[in-house]
Amino acid sequence: MEKRMTWKEIQETYPDQWVGLSEVEWNGGSVGTAVVKYTDKTSDELYDMQIDGQDVITKYTTPQNFPYGQVLIWGCDKT
């Protein structure tokens, strides 16, 4: 049987990458625990699997302390 992990454990084990999750137990609107089914697929591959009806949830494991301000600055052209 595959190992069930908390979302924090998944983020720490598979940092900054797309994962395909199965058997997801939700905690409000967030992943509480899940089984990591795929770590070697792109987001497009994982989304295609969802569209095809496979039991997989696509998530990116960026930690919650990701510096969002840097993304916003990068996306703005102030010249």
Domains in the chain: boundaries: 4-74
Question: Using an 8 Å Cβ cutoff, are 31 and 58 in contact?
Answer: no
Predicted local distance difference test score (pLDDT) of residue 29: 87
Q: What is the per-residue pLDDT for 5?
A: 97
The string of pLDDT tens digits covering residues 14-72 is 999 999 999 999 999 899 999 999 999 999 999 999 999 999 999 999 866 555 444 44
- Token code pair at residue 19: 């994962």
Tell me how crowded residue 21 is: count the other CB atoms within 10 A of its CB: 21
Q: Which residues of the chain form beta strands (DSSP E)?
A: 4-6, 18-27, 30-38, 57-60
User: Above 90 in pLDDT, residue 1?
Assistant: no
CA distance 67 to 37: 28
| Structure confidence at residue 62 (pLDDT) | 82
pLDDT for the residue numbered 69 = 47
